[in-house]
Structure 1
Amino acid sequence: MSSSEDIFSNLSSKFSQLSYGRTKGDISHINCILDEINNLDYRYPLVTNKTKAVLLIHQCCTIIPHDELHLVHKCCRLITNLVIHQHVEIEGQTLSLVTHWCLLGIKHAPSTNTEILTVLKALLTCNDKNSQYLLPLIICNNSPVLAVANGSCLETALVGVQCLEMCTVGDNLKILNVKSELELASTVFLRYLMQEPNVDNLLYNKVLISSLRGLQNVITLHPEFLKKELGLILGVTKSFMVYNIKGIHFQVPQKIVPSILNIPGTPLSVPKEKKGGKIAKQRKPRMSNKKEIKKRVDDDEDTYFPSASDPEDGSASSRMYDGFKTSDSDFSDNEYGRIAKVGTTQDKVRQAALHLLLQIVKMTDKATIFCYWSSFISDDMLMNTNNLSTCILKDPSPKGRMAALHVLLSLITRSKLYLVQAESSKKYTAYTPFSVILGAMVTDLHKCLRLALNENYVTVLLQVFKCLAALVQASPYHRLMPGIIQKIIRNVKIYITHRDAAVQVAALIVLECVLCSEPIVPETKLALLRHRDTNKILRDDKKDRLINNDEPLQDDIEFVDFSSDDEDTNSITSQEMPWLLERCLNNLGVQVAGSTVSSPVKVQSLRVISAMTRNYFDCLIVPFLNEIAKILDLCLNDNYMDLRLHAGRTIDFIGQSLNKHLGVEDDNKCVTPEQGHSFWQILINNSLTALLQSEHHSVLRAVGCDCLASIGPYIFEHFSRDKQILIITLLFPCSHDDDNNVRAATVRALAISVLYPSLRDDPGFVVDVALVIQRMLQDNSLVVRIKASWSLGNLSDALVLNKEDSAKEEIPNHILLQLLQIAIHVSKDSDKIKVNAIRALGNLLQLVNDEMIKQDEFKVAVNEGVSAVIKCCMTGTNMKLRWNSCYAVGKALKLAKFPINDYIQKDSLFSSLTDLILSFPNFKVRINAALALSCINTREGYHNYFAFVWEALLKALENTQNIEDFSEYNHQDHLVDQVCLTLGHLTTLIKPDDFALIKNCTYLYLDLLQQQMRKVLDRLLPEKSSVLLSAATHLRNVSIENYRSEERQLCLDLLKVYTND
């Protein structure tokens, strides 16, 4: 018996030999062969030779005329089967032939339009490249496809619209100029979308789905069309995203105008509706309804992929019958199947609208889309129902709710910059500020997402948590009504013990965002700690409900259950562990409630503990340092590498916070060095040492170095000498590690350690660190060199501190010379390295003394160093580099007897600094340039440039009032202060001969100088403005009796400036 492949091959050969002679015999013969070919089972492979199949299609379109309708029908069926099921690709001349045959067939044989359009749809679906050729033929002014798509026969129009949709698919169309064709297609799509729909018509719903998807394709390929029709397309998405949601009246799409005001709609109570994700206050639903929901989820499409046939056309949906069948049914089984299919298509209409909206949000700039927020984000869910909150809470399809949450997440993340303006207000005025409207929207979003936490589908629930985390990050709680963040914590906390590990992680992420929210609000701390007064809790809860108008919603949708932790009636001791910390530590233990905790939950628990160190270190971390240390020690011994990594990072965070709090000059510190010492002792005695010796995980060794770097001077000095030696001994070998990140972390840790008093006193250690830094600065890795340049700055700070203390041993001359030379060398590296190298260079130049400068090598190094500093002042776009360059110049010129002053090229120095102070856009750079000009302590140091510098400072004082970038406004007063202080410094060095040089420019700016100096004297503390008092004293003591009256008068006028007379 011949195989199907052989049968197909033989029939194809027979058909290829036919010719059409318009006789009944010819027609009968063609019809017979076509029947035989079409009767084959195309679900299984039949075509072994694709070329032969293409020739068969070519022959069909050549010999079959359009007036033989039954042959046309069978020919279309054959082509569709070959293209879709046998994956035969039609290209070149055959594609052209088939396309023109189809287009002529639509014109001359209207009764076969559905079959012919299905062929075109198959050609477009199975090969994206075909759209480049077919698009201009199908979408043009006289196109028969457009005529059919606009026709009255809905079944044929559906396939026509689907063809138009498929024509607009494909990134390859971006290279073509098809804007006019795309706009022509959009008119068809919008025609269906801009009229009152027939919601119960299956075919019409499919037309809407294709129209929405096609419109999404159009705006993706034609962004200019989106900009031109943004309001109209947004209006379409707004109407169809709530399409046939129970209780929501459909509104015909209208163009939306950008506005910051929200027009309230008609109050509408939310109907009680059974659906996945909400707990309605009604009896338990029957199992049949659960099956209906499950079936709809299974059949629903999550994302849009062009396909040859719609899945709902198959017989799978008929299984819905089992979920509805009852003995008393008044409807037929077919009727139930039809209702189920209609419900599925309605779901897909909403999803298509939401996908379109998501694409619009992604393609539109943040500022523009924010102007449409009030059209999609409600400021009162009870008053306005055509918004995303309705989709999230009431869409019966989980995938619809998921799509709405995707849109909301994109809107929130793209609008964080604007949401900081939100605020709540109890005042009622005729004009409502934008910030208050925005505050109402933010408050309503919190309410919506809290309600959405009732979701039963885990995937949707996870998306709710993502939105909630983004909203918490973006919300300015200090400007909103109290109670919002407290309710978020209450609603989320019950999920940290959820049976699904992914939900636990998502809930912990939200709480991590709450912990990091700034500025902090008191209610957060209260919510994170267990309450002691139950009556107070009840009072607060009642007050919060009244403030936030939550009570009416209780009639419609039930809130998520609150945790019972807030209602403890027993008194709680001051040292009882807060619930969140307790849960995190339990997660990090071996087992919880007899089951092993998943690794992602453990990792996120560590991230939450790390977040606690940011704003709640005193109340959540300090009282339980020992318990935390023991758990971290346990984590560092775990087999899971990521857990050890995050445990190391948590140790680093805690160490930094310990240093920060121990460094505060306050008698009532929240933590003592002894507590910190105990914390570190537990870790160093056990697992932390092993972390640095992890052979197979370089990232763990790098984190181990970071941990040791965060010990800090206050705790390090409490360690015994052998422990101190152990810590340092662990670090030095890591400087030779093969991994770049480990070497970078090591050099940073050593540079931090060199500032510890006990280690700074050890000349051997200082030299060893200097040699390591010198070697690292020549490393091939940019990451290592960046850290090494920063470390060189730290080392130079330590060397300057040692120089100021005569009891300390200074670094050997040859080491200092090497450091100078390497600093000059790396100052020519990338900006990221220059930034710190220049700062170090300024410190190192201070260390050069009279004896050293006599040596030729030091003389060359000093000249090159000064040139490098001045060059960095004037070049580059990195603001920090300019800032540090000015800082370095100031350091180098700081000492009056500093020999470097004899080697500075004064013209380049003063011209560079005055250019910066006069016109540089960044005010912080100007401030440091002015500061550098005040670092020369002798009149001779300014040489002939005294008047030049004086005049430049007066002009700079005038220029401080010109602000091009508003962000510099915060630094304006500081700049004025520094310019005046520098003028005061110059005045303390002024000599009688200088009055004649500065007379003209001083009188030109005298009023401005007097006005600004008065403000500075009023603004600055006496200890900071002492140089101005010294200037006044110097002017009183200047001997000018033998000079002209103009110069004597100038002296008196300047004295009035500094005495505020």
Structure 2
Amino acid sequence: MCPRGEEDEAASAAGGPVSQRTCGAIEGGFPAVPPPCPQAGAPGSTARSPLRTGWSRTPPALLCPPPGPSPDVCAVLVQACQLVSLDQEHLVSKVCQLIHHLLNRYQVMVDEQNLNFLLSYCISALRQCSSWTHVEILQALAALVYNNGPKCQKYLPDLLGKAGLLLQFSDPAQPDVELRRAAVRSMANLCLSVPGQPYLDESYRSVCFQTFLSVLQSSKTADVDDITFCMLLQSALKGVQSLLNGGKMKLMQTDQIGALLAVLKKCMFHGLPGLSIEVPTALYPAPLPQYDKRSPVKQEQSEPATSNRRKKCKGKQKKGEFGEEGREDSGDAGNESVLGADMLKLHLGDVQNSPGADPRPRASDVCAGKDPLSSHPTGWKLISSSESEYSDTEGGIQSKVRSYQANVRQGALACFLSTIKSIEKRVLYGYWSAFVPDAPGIGSPQSVSLMTIALKDPSPKTRACALQVLSAFLEGSKQFLSVAEDASDHKRAFTPFSVTIASSIRELHRCLLLALVAESSSQTLTQIVKCLANLVSNAPYSRLKPGLLTRVWNQIKPYISHKDVNVRVSSLTLLGAIVSVQAPLPEVQLLLQQPSSSGLNSSGSATPRRFSSCEQWRKALPWAGESPLDNPAGCAPPEPCWLLCLCVSIIALPREDSCSDSDANFPSLASVYEPCPLRLEALQADQQILCVTLLLGLNHSENPLVKAAAARALGVYILFPCLRQDVMFVADTANAILNSLHDKSPNVRAKAAWSLGNLTDTLIINMETLGQSFQEELSDLLLLKLLRSATEASKDRDKVKSNAVRALGNVLHFLQPCHVANPRFREAIKESLQALIATVGSEATMKVRWNACYALGNVFKNPALPLGEAPWATQAFSALSSVVKSCKNFKVRIKSAMALSIPSRRECYGSTEQFCQIWSALVVALQRSEDTEDFLEFKYSSSLRTQICRALLHLLQLARSTDLPLIGGSLRDHGDAIKPYVLQYLRSSGEENEAGVHTDLRERERGLQGAIDHLSGIERELQGKARVRVSLTELSDVAGGKSARPGMSRALGLSELSAFCPNPGLDV
């Protein structure tokens, strides 16, 4: 379907065929151009002759233009415009229809020269011709500017300036809605971005955004038909989406965000059967649900039908149909469904009597095993019947209106998805209550939300769009949802925010499980399960009452055997998310300990029979490597986790299906059901050689997808112990990866860089485990190639750069003194170090800078490098000192502080001035460890302080007597500020924090004891010189506290520590 015009779009919405790139539509020539109607003062006879001469000279090849650029078609269009003067308005209208028809139907690419002529013609026609021609002219203009926005820069003042034509025709005061729609359509096509081309200026973007917003905020008047109004809304929504996607527009102002979200919420429910809401002109961030003004609804007719259906549902509920949890949830579906009339105050009475209403089947009816149509009133059942009271014409119009309304809802949801990506998460979650369901209060209706669409909308595609938006909303919400808590039943005089969020999480679980039961579309079902997996990955179940995961677990099990493979895959992903819930929960442990039979069969008859047969095989046959004599008689072996068995059975399913229980050779099936090997070592030697040879060959494939997969697989294989110690395999893999690292495909280069990082990791492992022998066997030429290629890759895009710098750090760590002294290596080492230092201080992504700091830390571990005297060392320490003080990302700060604490000798830190600059940078970084604009970074502040304190103690253990005066001055100026952080570091227990930094109490004791012993040794060496006493009374108090270990008390037994400064009497 071509997005230039709306003929195909209308045909698609009405259920008709979409035009393809064929010539059947104009097989015999151009569309017939009727004789022009004589205009006043413009006799038609003088104009027809040259125009028809032009038509007759048209080559047959132009009647069905081939795909791609068609200069002949463009030339014909230009010729037609040259033949038709602007005073012949009827012919101008026909020429514009021809432009629109050809460009829309055949997607002809217009070159810049012809585009300039045709645009000038259309703009002049808009200025000079009568208003009745403007719609056709604007349609031609929309087709011309589609994907040609960067080429139209010089015409933007005429179109989008203060008195621009498109602004005039799209004004809310414009009485002609068709004209306004055509203008908005042209404006939306102008906003489309072209990769690699400049986008609209900010002033034009702002004008277009405000125009689209005013269109979406407008209401339909009585003289406008539904389809035209829907097309107007669609054009505005596409325009907003183009601005957000193509222009990388960031929504920052609260008024702008609130106004856009308000109109999107309004359009999300446009034409939804049985629902009428009024949304305010702007939404504002609020922790509680905002007021939704509902239109008065009629419930008298709906209440009896609803109550009867509820009674039938309860009466016909079959025992054991969905297990205990299934029965519990299906009861909730009947009583608490968002689809219920009592909850949503829907127009059920009106909908029953309206044509074309096609609401979703109730979840309660589905769970009771009813035919979805049997529970609906007759008016709904007879929509497609010939006995309908509406004629075919009326029914067709109603169907078309519903299709266009569904397109508006889908467009609003797609635009909302782009909006979510354009708003910072911390801002977006201020509008949580406006789009995410919350449990309704007593006597109050439930607010409409994204789940209302997922449960109520008759279009499966719209339901899937709503669930996709909800998934995007939930993605990355772990920090926001972490405040939720409802584990306590303590009664409060008010509802805390934590309880409100917990209630919202529970309602999300309930609504998604209802949607899971009621859904029939496989595509939408996949989105529901993905949304559940996203919710499970972010919800803080340790702070919520147990039972939520059990309901999800029991209701998802039947879908493991669904006929659609995407549903099966997403179901397994959801089970994996449940198992991966942080802070392992007893609830999950109990679910995993369920017997295999109940784990696979208790959730309904939909579970496939092949799984139960697999279980029989599993019980009858010993596991690979297990002897039947290992178990004493009468003692059954412990049954493995049913989920693991299920995963293995799915992997081995083709082999299992080839056998049957009645096979005479059934006892020999142990070899058939042998689990797939989890390690390469489990394969035979010839099979290992086959796998390695195959991957090395595929790495030279011309298909970039194959080559990328092969490069990544080599990066996995190099980590296997049986291969990483083989020097020949390491060399072959290195050469293959280096070949892929220079590929023209960015994806191949990214995978190759990741594999290169893994390969260099194995170099370090082999150096530490195998010693110098492995270093000597590896070719110097290969090392040099690795160094140069990684340096070059560090200048590539971020996905390549992040692993290239990791590889650089490993290779520089691996080098021996002979390499450092080699003239061939000297220049390569210098360039690689400069690349690392530049990356640390660059504006690259967090992952790139984190890896660069990690790489410099690896460089500092190599004693062969002249760290204390080399010029690059000063630059490296300066870059790390700057990052540890001012980087916005705390993880990068942590890694830079860690790198600064790696050199093991004082000489490595260089001069006294440089050593004290590093000390001062760490002190400043400790003071700024809580300064951040992003609240998501706060969880890493404790890890940052731990690492900085560790680095400071490390520097004290290495300090010389000449360093102490400057260190003492730093303590004198900042001692009071950093003392609480140091005391907190000494008091904290040994745990692994958010950044993965393990803080061991014994390690802190050793660090402190080392600093004390080192400074005491300096005191003994410098007896008789001027000295100052640095008091450790506060630290002694810490040692005597309840949290201190006896070893720390002994370490701090000295009440005072003597250090030397030129300023006697300093007491810190």
- Structure 1 residues 768-795: Cα deviation after superposition (integer angstroms, max 9, x where no partner): x568768977885565764553333223
2:189 is the counterpart of 1:169? yes
Q: What residue is the counterpart of 2:702 in the other structure? A: none
Q: Which of residues 488, 506, 510 in structure 2 aligns to 1:447?
A: 510
Q: Which of residues 804, 810, 822 in structure 2 aligns to 1:836?
A: 810
- Structure 1 residues 735-786: Cα deviation after superposition (integer angstroms, max 9, x where no partner): xxx98667766654458875xxxxxxxxxxxxxx568768977885565764
Counterpart code for 2:371? K
Q: Which of residues 323, 326, 347 in structure 1 aligns to 2:384?
A: 323
Matches within 5 A, 1:862-881: 875=837, 877=840
Report the CA distance between 1:393 and its aligned residue.
Answer: 0.9
- Structure 1 residues 568-621: Cα deviation after superposition (integer angstroms, max 9, x where no partner): xx9997734544334333333455997999xxxxxxxxxxxxxxxxxxxxxxxx
> In 1, Cα distance between the equivalents of 2:966 and 2:1022?
20
Q: What residue is the counterpart of 1:336 in the other structure? A: 395
Q: What residue is the counterpart of 1:962 in the other structure? A: 927
Matches within 5 A, 1:382-461: 383-413=445-475, 415=477, 418-424=480-486, 426=488, 427=490, 429=492, 434-453=497-516, 454-461=518-525
Q: Which of residues 424, 435, 440 in structure 2 aligns to 1:376?
A: 435
Percent of aligned pairs sharing the same letter: 19
Change (3 A) 1:442 1:595: farther
2:406 is the counterpart of 1:347? yes
* Contact residue 956 and residue 979 of structure 1 kept, 8 A: no
SS in 2 for 1:324: coil
Change (3 A) 1:596 1:345: farther
Report the CA distance between 1:495 and its aligned residue.
Answer: 0.6
Long gaps (5+) in structure 2: 1-23, 66-71, 294-341, 352-357, 620-634, 661-666, 700-708, 742-751, 792-804, 841-848, 885-892, 932-937, 989-999, 1037-1049, 1056-1068
- Structure 1 residues 534-590: Cα deviation after superposition (integer angstroms, max 9, x where no partner): 9x99xxx9xxxxxxxxxxxxxxxxx999989999xx999773454433433333345
* Contact residue 808 and residue 832 of structure 2 kept, 8 A: no
Q: What residue is the counterpart of 1:124 in the other structure? A: 142
2:534 is the counterpart of 1:464? no
- Structure 1 residues 852-875: Cα deviation after superposition (integer angstroms, max 9, x where no partner): xxxxx799589999x989996995
- Structure 1 residues 677-720: Cα deviation after superposition (integer angstroms, max 9, x where no partner): xxx7xx435xx742531487317999xxxxxxxxxxxxxxxxxx
- Structure 1 residues 595-654: Cα deviation after superposition (integer angstroms, max 9, x where no partner): 999xxxxxxxxxxxxxxxxxxxxxxxxxxxx999967857xxxxxxxxxxxx66xx14xx
> In 1, Cα distance between the equivalents of 2:596 and 2:258?
53
Matches within 5 A, 1:551-630: 575-590=638-653
Change (3 A) 1:73 1:891: closer
Counterpart code for 2:557? K
Report the CA distance between 1:496 and its aligned residue.
Answer: 0.8
> In 1, Cα distance between the equivalents of 2:580 and 2:288?
31
* Contact residue 838 and residue 869 of structure 1 kept, 8 A: no
> In 2, Cα distance between the equivalents of 1:242 and 1:102?
36
SS in 2 for 1:195: coil
Q: What residue is the counterpart of 2:768 in the other structure? A: 797
2:996 is the counterpart of 1:972? no
Q: Which of residues 268, 271, 281 in structure 1 aligns to 2:343?
A: 268
> In 2, Cα distance between the equivalents of 1:564 and 1:439?
36
2:574 is the counterpart of 1:510? yes
Change (3 A) 1:1002 1:405: closer
SS in 1 for 2:277: coil
Q: Which of residues 582, 585, 588 in structure 2 aligns to 1:521?
A: 585
* Contact residue 854 and residue 899 of structure 2 kept, 8 A: yes
Report the CA distance between 1:457 and its aligned residue.
Answer: 1.3
Change (3 A) 1:79 1:560: farther
- Structure 1 residues 991-1012: Cα deviation after superposition (integer angstroms, max 9, x where no partner): xxx7x99689769959889999
> In 2, Cα distance between the equivalents of 1:448 and 1:509?
20
SS in 2 for 1:168: helix
Q: Which of residues 157, 160, 171 in structure 1 aligns to 2:177?
A: 157
Q: Which of residues 386, 405, 425 in structure 2 aligns to 1:366?
A: 425
> In 1, Cα distance between the equivalents of 2:642 and 2:1027?
76
Report the CA distance between 1:836 and its aligned residue.
Answer: 2.0
Say which structure is richer in helix.
Answer: 1
> In 2, Cα distance between the equivalents of 1:253 and 1:960?
46
Counterpart code for 2:695? S
* Contact residue 823 and residue 837 of structure 1 kept, 8 A: yes
Report the CA distance between 1:528 and its aligned residue.
Answer: 3.3
> In 1, Cα distance between the equivalents of 2:217 and 2:979?
70
Report the CA distance between 1:353 and its aligned residue.
Answer: 2.3
SS in 2 for 1:505: helix
Report the CA distance between 1:1026 and its aligned residue.
Answer: 5.8
* Contact residue 872 and residue 881 of structure 1 kept, 8 A: no
Counterpart code for 1:161? R
Report the CA distance between 1:1025 and its aligned residue.
Answer: 3.7
2:365 is the counterpart of 1:281? yes
2:522 is the counterpart of 1:481? no
SS in 2 for 1:335: helix
TM-score, normalisation: structure 1: 0.60
Task: Say what the alpha-carbon RMSD is for the aligned residues.
Answer: 6.5
Change (3 A) 1:889 1:85: closer
> In 2, Cα distance between the equivalents of 1:440 and 1:372?
16
Counterpart code for 1:795? N
> In 2, Cα distance between the equivalents of 1:374 and 1:476?
18
Q: Which of residues 266, 270, 274 in structure 2 aligns to 1:239?
A: 266
Change (3 A) 1:773 1:1022: same
SS in 2 for 1:372: helix
Report the CA distance between 1:421 and its aligned residue.
Answer: 4.7
> In 1, Cα distance between the equivalents of 2:53 and 2:467?
52
Report the CA distance between 1:456 and its aligned residue.
Answer: 0.8
> In 2, Cα distance between the equivalents of 1:1036 and 1:958?
23
* Contact residue 693 and residue 701 of structure 1 kept, 8 A: no
Report the CA distance between 1:494 and its aligned residue.
Answer: 0.6
* Contact residue 262 and residue 283 of structure 2 kept, 8 A: yes
Report the CA distance between 1:208 and its aligned residue.
Answer: 3.9
Counterpart code for 1:525? Q
> In 1, Cα distance between the equivalents of 2:205 and 2:416?
22
2:252 is the counterpart of 1:190? no
> In 2, Cα distance between the equivalents of 1:906 and 1:9?
81
- Structure 1 residues 233-284: Cα deviation after superposition (integer angstroms, max 9, x where no partner): 2111112211243443320541112233333658834767963575453963
Report the CA distance between 1:136 and its aligned residue.
Answer: 5.9
Q: What residue is the counterpart of 2:554 in the other structure? A: 490
* Contact residue 917 and residue 930 of structure 1 kept, 8 A: no
> In 2, Cα distance between the equivalents of 1:249 and 1:777?
64
SS in 2 for 1:697: helix
Counterpart code for 2:386? K
Counterpart code for 1:284? D
* Contact residue 83 and residue 123 of structure 1 kept, 8 A: no
2:257 is the counterpart of 1:230? yes
* Contact residue 139 and residue 146 of structure 1 kept, 8 A: yes
Change (3 A) 1:161 1:292: farther
Q: Which of residues 1047, 1053, 1056 in structure 2 aligns to 1:1059?
A: 1053
Q: What residue is the counterpart of 2:320 in the other structure? A: none
Change (3 A) 1:406 1:476: same
> In 2, Cα distance between the equivalents of 1:913 and 1:28?
84
> Which structure would you say has the larger Rg?
1
Q: What residue is the counterpart of 1:552 in the other structure? A: none
> In 2, Cα distance between the equivalents of 1:1038 and 1:152?
86
Report the CA distance between 1:209 and its aligned residue.
Answer: 3.9
Counterpart code for 2:694? H
Long gaps (5+) in structure 1: 108-112, 295-320, 542-558, 598-625, 635-646, 656-679, 703-737, 755-768, 801-809, 846-856, 893-899
* Contact residue 277 and residue 457 of structure 1 kept, 8 A: no
Report the CA distance between 1:440 and its aligned residue.
Answer: 3.3
Change (3 A) 1:632 1:868: farther
